[in-house]
């Protein structure tokens, strides 16, 4: 049985037999064009830009290292703590109602009286586009800008429901220039959920 092996150090083709060690040796001529192609490819790969944040994804941020440990969680003094001259309990609240089909944002004062209401459908998104994270972010930027025009700069955020617009809506409020003090998740949890659908027969 014959097997072929290329020795890279000597650039020779050795044909070996299972019974005999060396049947025949032939030298292979290598041209300078092939070497030039390899060198030019290496230079091309060397000249490529390093992957930046846009192509490699978002960098992880150590939130625990940046914030003080005692200010992460509320305590008995939190309602009276001042944020830009206003007690925490009197800050206006942004209520974000998220569903798989739409995202509704409303601004209320600390008593619960509504001031502004905006949804992805009002913003101009139709049909299935209302349920996307881009629609939620655009709606949040619009209502956040309107709140800034009314002189509201520091707010609390309450999120309720599950859908693609949860984080995007909060990000949109930050992009509009609002200072978010706290984020509360008030999603309702059913302890007796409805019975799941029966398995589909194949």
What is the rounded average pLDDT of the residues 100-124?
93
Q: What total of structural domains would you count in the chain?
A: 2
Which of 60-64, 83-87, 149-153, 177-181 is the least confident region?
60-64
pLDDT computed for residue 155 by the predictor: 94
**Could you give the CA distance from residue 108 to residue 26 in angstroms, rounded to a whole number?**
87
Helix (H) and strand (E) counts in the chain = 6, 10
CATH number of the domain that residue 172 is part of: 3.30.420.80
pTM: 0.61
Shared domain for 37 and 88, answered yes or no, is: no
**Could you give the CA distance from residue 91 to residue 154 in angstroms, rounded to a whole number?**
7
Shared domain for 81 and 161, answered yes or no, is: yes
Q: Residues of 166-180 as b/e, b for ≥16 C-beta within 10 angstroms?
A: bebbbbbbeebebee
Contact call for residues 119 and 147 (beta carbons, < 8 A): no
The larger pLDDT score, comparing residue 15 to residue 133, is at 133
Residue 94 lies in a domain: yes
- pLDDT tens column, 53-66: 444 444 555 545 55
pLDDT computed for residue 2 by the predictor: 43
- Residue 32 lies in domain: 2-41
What is the rounded average pLDDT of the residues 133-144?
94
Shared domain for 163 and 82, answered yes or no, is: yes
Non-local CB neighbours of 2 within 8 Å, separated by 6+ positions: 15, 16, 17, 23
Residue 180 lies in a domain: yes
**Could you give the CA distance from residue 64 to residue 163 in angstroms, rounded to a whole number?**
26
Shared domain for 32 and 81, answered yes or no, is: no
Q: Please determine, for residue 103, whether its predicted confidence score (pLDDT) is greater than 50.
A: yes
Q: Please determine, for residue 80, whether its predicted confidence score (pLDDT) is greater than 80.
A: yes
pLDDT computed for residue 55 by the predictor: 46
Shared domain for 31 and 89, answered yes or no, is: no
Shared domain for 85 and 17, answered yes or no, is: no
């Amino acid at each position: 049985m014959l097997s072929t092996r290329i020795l890279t150090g000597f650039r020779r083709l050795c044909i070996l037999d299972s019974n005999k060690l060396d049947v025949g040796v032939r030298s292979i001529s290598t041209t300078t064009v092939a070497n030039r192609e390899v060198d030019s490819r290496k230079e091309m790969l060397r000249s490529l830009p390093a992957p930046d944040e846009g192509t490699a994804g978002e960098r992880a941020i150590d939130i625990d290292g940046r914030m003080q440990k005692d200010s992460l969680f509320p305590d008995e003094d939190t309602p009276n703590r001042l944020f830009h001259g206003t007690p925490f309990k009197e800050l206006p609240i942004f209520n974000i109602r998220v569903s798989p089909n739409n995202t509704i944002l409303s601004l209320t004062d600390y008593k619960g009286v509504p001031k502004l209401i905006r949804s992805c459908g009002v913003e101009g998104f139709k049909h299935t586009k209302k349920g996307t994270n881009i629609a939620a972010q655009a709606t949040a930027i619009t209502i956040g800008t309107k709140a800034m025009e009314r002189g509201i700069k520091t707010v609390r955020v309450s999120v309720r429901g599950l859908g693609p617009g949860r984080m995007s809506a909060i990000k949109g409020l930050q992009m509009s220039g609002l200072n978010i003090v706290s984020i509360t998740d008030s999603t309702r949890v059913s302890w007796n959920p409805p019975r799941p659908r029966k398995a589909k027969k194949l």
